[in-house]
Each structure stands twice: as C-alpha cells, then as structure tokens.
Structure 1
Amino acid sequence: MKDTVHFKWLSDLADAEAHLIAELVECTALDGAMLGYARRMSDDEAEGFMAELRYRISKGHSLALVGVDKGKPVFFCMMTRSAMPNCRHRAELSKGVVHPAYRGQHIIPQAFRKIVLKAESLGIEQLILDVRAGSRAHLLWQRFGFKSYGLLDDYARVGNEVYRGDFLAQPVCALRKHVFQDKPSKDRIGMIKRENFKEELRHVLHRNLTLGHPIFEELFDPMKPNLHLLRATALQGYQLTKNFLSYVEHLFFHCPLPKFKRALLINMYEEETGRLSRSDNHVVLMQNFLHAIGISDFERDAELPLPATSALINYRFDAVRDPAKYHIGAAAVMIASEGQNLETKAGEARHELFGRVYGLAEGDLRFFSVHQAEDVGHVEQGLNLVSELCTTARMQEEALFAVDHTCKLFYAMYENIYVENCRRAPGPIVLGGGR
C-alpha cells in the first residue's frame, strides 16, 4: 500500500485541483482505459470536464472522493445520488480512476471503504455503474462483487470501433462485506499513520459546521431576536446536557488505556462540581441559562426530546456502553460532541452572540463560556486517545465515521427544531453545538 495516500471528500474544487484531476483522468485514458476520452483532451474538452466537475460538486449533485499523494491526486471517483424521489436509495459511481503508477497498491479497497461509509451515512443502499465490457475496470468491479444487470452493444465508439458496455449494481451492505474484512492482513493494508490519522479526525470535525444551519441565522439576527426559537433550541440542548456526564462515566469505566483514565476522571470531576472552572455543576449551569431566558423548572422537566435529539442521545449511549465500540464512543463524545463548542461565527462564539442579541449577562452564559474554554483540551485528549486506540484500518474508518456521523446528528437535531418551530424547511442539509 502506498501509505502516503490520503483520501478526502471534496466540498468544493479549486482551479488548480481541477486541473490536476483532469490530468489524472487524461493519463488514465492515454494508457488504454476507456473513460470517454481516447486521446489527449483538447483545451475545450478539459475546460468542459473541469467545469462539469466544479458545478456538480458545488451544487451538491455529486460527491467527489479523491486520493492524494504528495499533493497530487492519484485516485478519483464521483458518487451521484438519484434525483428521483423514489430512487434516493440509489447512487451511481462514475469517473473512477487510479493513476497507472499506483495500480496494484491496494488503493481501491481503501477507497471503497470510504464510499461504503459515506453511502451508509446518507442512507444510500445500492450502487450502480457502467463500464466497457472486458476492460481492466470491468474485471476490477466484478472482483469487488458488482454484478451485471444489462449489456449494451453500442456502448461507446472510437473511430470505426464499437465497444460493448456492461451495467453493474451491488447493495452497499454487500460491498461492505468485500472491503471490511476482519483479516489482519487486509486490515493493515489501509492503516493511516497515527499523526496523519489524528489530523484526519480533526479535519472531519472542522468540516462539519453546525453553526452553518439556518436556525442560527434566525437566532443571531440582532434586528429580530427570536426568543421563542431560542427557548425551543435550549430545551432540546438540555436533553443532551443532562446525559453528558453519563457518557464520560462509561468512557472512564471502560477505558482500555490507563494513561487516559486520569484525564477522563478530571473531566467527570469538572462536569459534576465545576470546581476547576470555578463555576458549578454543568447541568446547573445549563439550568441557569434556561432560567435567564424565561424557562421555568416545570417547563424544563416536562420537555421531551424530539426524534432527532433522541437519535443523537441514543447513538452515543449505544457506543459508550459497549466496550467493543469504545473507539467509536470516544470519537463521538470526546471529539465530535466536545468539538461542537469550539465553533465560532464571524469570529464570535455562540455565547457572545446570544449575549448581545438577547441582552444576557455573562453569568447567564457561563455554561457556554466554560465549555468553549475547556473543550479545546478535551478535544485534544480525544484526538490523542482515539488515534492511539485505533490499531487497524477498520477501527480508523469507524472512528472517522463516528465523528462525521455524530456531527450530522447534531445538524439533524437543529433541523428538527427548526422545522418544528418555524414550520418551513431550510433547504438541503449540507452537513451535521450543544452536547
């Protein structure tokens, strides 16, 4: 395995990166692969190819996975979900290419792991693709379990030659079995070096911007403060706060690495007492905030979690209670959840914005200010713990998925609150604070 190859999903495509991807596609076409280009691209063809990629990625029509080594892409693939309402369970893979110098280096299994995890997180259950029959790519897809559902004789034409095409499909759950195998030799193939893995975890956290949800545009609007929406959001946030200490307790109890137990014990002590931050029990701090925005104890205790809030609570409990999922629970709680409080909007923390828009005093916002200060260290502890815990490629993939998925669950919670209280959907969800 070329262990310097790192994979990422692109959310946008700069000109320089688009040019490098076009060059990758071109060198693959020139060495005999059939991608719709039988020779070197003309300037117009290259420009059209790059424009299409930029448009599809920026509009969210397609997801693009790129594998990079030494700053240059060596793998590329597009995943496009069906736009038809009744076919949203299906996505098409296209433009899958590996640089000729990297073939046979086990890049494809690692890429397919990324695709499986992304598909599962989006609820995509079936993958389809088409390919020139008998080509190297055709044999490769078949080796990974894709099966033919139809042939087209007049699939592609190059000069006077007519090529046959094969249309293939595979359930995502079946592909998972092909690429997530519990054999040590397979697992070690895709391992990321520890420091690089730690940075990848950090990258996944920071690319999931919860404060980008439209609910915060309303909450932070200084011209039209929405106290009703703030109260609804805070009441759902309280459902998370009152469970958070229990997550940390489970992580402390099951921690397999003694040197990290002390930090978890200190975290629990602060959550329970507030002594280290010279404040108070953290649930009490949140209750103080609720009082400050006019929520009574009766209203607070009568509130029930919305479905998306329950999904977030239950996902984390399921992970932290199972020692076999310890790395997943640690990633979900110590990185993704603690990391929610580190976000800022235009350089300001959420508690600063709440204070200015709703006229709240510093003491009313102690819950948020304490966590923004403390959680910098907590996230770093989580990154160190998870990067040391994950000793196989599969564990690394599962931890990365846990961070990404937990952030999406936070985003979904805000979406649920927004729709319930504003009675209008804000448009497509891009990605997934509170605790």
Structure 2
Amino acid sequence: MSPDQSAEQARRAVETVWRMEWPRLVAGLTRVVGDIDAAEELAQDALVAALEQWPRDGVPPNPGGWLMLTAKHRAIDRVRRNQTFARKLAELGHELVTEQPDSPEPDNAVEDDLLRMMFTACHPVLPEQARVALTLRLLGGLTTEEIARAFVVTESTVAQRIVRAKRTIAAKRVPYEVPGSDELPERLNSVLAVVYLIFNEGYSATTGNDWVRFELCQDALRLGRVLAELLPAEPEVHGLVALLELQASRLPARTGPANDVVLLADQNRSRWDRLLIRRGLAALGRANAVARDRSLPPGSYALQAAIAAVHAMAATPGDTDWRRIAGLYAVLAERFPSPIVELNRAVAVSKVHGPAAGLDLVDTLVTAGVLDTYHLRYAVRGDLLVQLDRYEEARAEFTRAAELTGNKAERALLLDRAAASARRASVAGEIRSGGT
C-alpha cells in the first residue's frame, strides 16, 4: 500500500471512530470538566490531533482510548488557567497517571457517563425540540447540519436550539447525574419519549421529499439499545426497543422504486427484516418478564410493541389477527387514552366489525373536534368511506389529508387516492344514471 493510500485509510478510520466514540468522549469529558461546551471543544481538539497524527503514525490499537487520553491532556491545559478548578486538576492528574491509551475505561464508567448524558440531554426543563436536537448532537454524534437536514429546518435554527438548551442546563443547574428512584419514572419517560420521537420522524417524516429517513431510525434504535443495556430492570425501556425493532423491520418495504409510499397492506413481506423481528420479539419478551417480576402491567410501549408483533408474525395481510390487535388497542386506549390511539383503534375495529363500526369511532373524534389538523384522521376516514362505497365523501377526505401533510411522497399518495375516489364516484354515478 502506498503512503497516500495509508494516509487516506487513516483519515477514514478517524471519521469512523469519531462517529462511534463521540458520545462516549463527550459524556466522559463532561464528567471530568463539568461543562458540556468545554467537553465538546476538548473532543474536537482530540479529533484534530488524530487527523494530524494517525495518517503519519498509524491508527492506535485502542482509538477510543487514545482520543479520550488526548482530550484529557488538553483538559489539563484548560483547567490550569482557572484556579477554581484545582480539584479537577488533581482528579485529571490522577487519571492520567493511572490510565494508559491502550487500556479502555471500565465498562461501568462508560455506561454511567452515557446514562448521565442521556438524562441531561432529555431533562424535562428543556422544550421537546431542544431535547431532540441536543440528544442527536451529544448522543447521536450528528452535526448541526445533519440534524437540520433530518428535520428540514435551517442549520441556524438547530444551532440556536442546542445553544439555548446548554444555557438552560447551566442556568437551571441541571445536575449531570442519573435521577434517584423518586424522580426516575418521570425523567425516564422524557428520555423514552425523545427516542420515540426521533424514530417516528425517521419512520414517517413529517416534511420533505422522503417518507422514510433511515438514519434517524438507526440513531433512535442505537439510543434505545444503549438504554436497554444501561437500565435492564426497566420494562418500558425494553418495550420501546421492542417497538422500534419491530417497526424498523418493515423499513425496506415501506417505499417503492420511485421513492413512493407503500402502505402496510401492499408491502412485500419477504423484504421485512427477519433479524429485526426476532430481536423485537426477544425484547418484548424481556419487557413482559421484567414487568411480571416487578408486578407491573404492560406499559404503553410494550402494548404498542405487542400490536407490532401481531403484524410481524402474519405471513400475509389476510393472516393478521385483527381481533387480537383490536383487543390490545382497547387496553391501550383504557390505560393510556389519546385521540391517536382511538384513531388507530378505529382501523382495527373496522377490520373486525366492518367499516361502519370503525367510521363511528372516527366520527366521535370529529364531533369532539380533536385531530382537526392531523392529516391521518382524514386519510383513515377516507379509507373507511371508500369501503362503504361513499366515494365522493372519501375524495374530499383524501384531498384534505393531502393539504395537511408536509411530506411530498405522502401527499402524492393521498392525491392519487383522492383521484381514484373521484373516478369511482363518477363510475358509480353513471351506473346509477343508467339504471333509472
């Protein structure tokens, strides 16, 4: 291999290691220096050093350990300039004396740092959008440009959200720690909600040209798996991982050759990822087992995962056990009531008791004035109306749904369905005219 090829290989190694080690670096350095901004700067300094030295000297045996040790050396220079960090300087000095670049940090230290960072980035004191941006930045390793592209906002908007989030953490003195048992349920719910939101945006993008954003789904899956390793006694963590694994198994079949939307009933199930299905079913089993051990009922994510599991185990759409799905949605609606759960339950009920029964549930939402700006309420109602041969009404519902969605691929599908409903209404009208 030529020197140029070796240097290029080293540069690629730096980029790969950087994405993999970024969360651990920032989390560990935040513990050491007590400041997220400073930790990010030190991690960047270590990256620059790697880009300078690895192409020349080769990739070290333990790249992550090399980056962490280099960053800590930079931290020594930083804290020396501030007398108030005398204690931190002593701690760093001890770590540098005892730590070798080729010796990885103990697993429990890395896990503790990652868990602290996750609870800090997802603290309830931060607005939801700020939690998402900060989590993707610190734990997903995404740049502000990548986050902006994923959520179709400007880079400056993402940067401002991250800056404000860090300022809020400092101003509110949010502790860099895992909350105690009295605070854990509320705080954990916030963490799980952010991971779920990131996955959902990847699974069905709210805006942009692409319906599926695989990178966001992968980031959410990775974060969920990390949480499951760090908090094995929390059933809802396993429930969320089960849901994400099972939903992600369908990703290869959710879009067609022209990046068009492929709905569940039309998907080629041979393209579903069987490994992810097995992983999801195993995670669901763990969620149920841990819940039983703690005498807890299934949580929201575990119930949703159970519904996804029924779909995953059906070889064809006709094999789907809709009665079981409707029952699970009934439990979900009773324990975790929400209009969106009711909308999904309406679909399941329609499969068991007919489209009129499903339409009655949707019309209850309409009468209550909920989900008025949610495009899927109109899409579901349109689909039920088609099944009842009420094509002109269905056309209006699909058209309204298309107006409300911000996703180009989904809008195209809804407009196609509106046009199809209009054609069927016309044919039905002609048949009625011919029969008079």
Q: TM-score, normalised by structure 1?
A: 0.26
With normalisation by structure 2, the TM-score equals 0.26
Higher helix residue share: 2
Larger RCO, structure (CA 8 Å, separation 6 or more)? 1
Whichever of the two has the greater Rg, that structure is 2
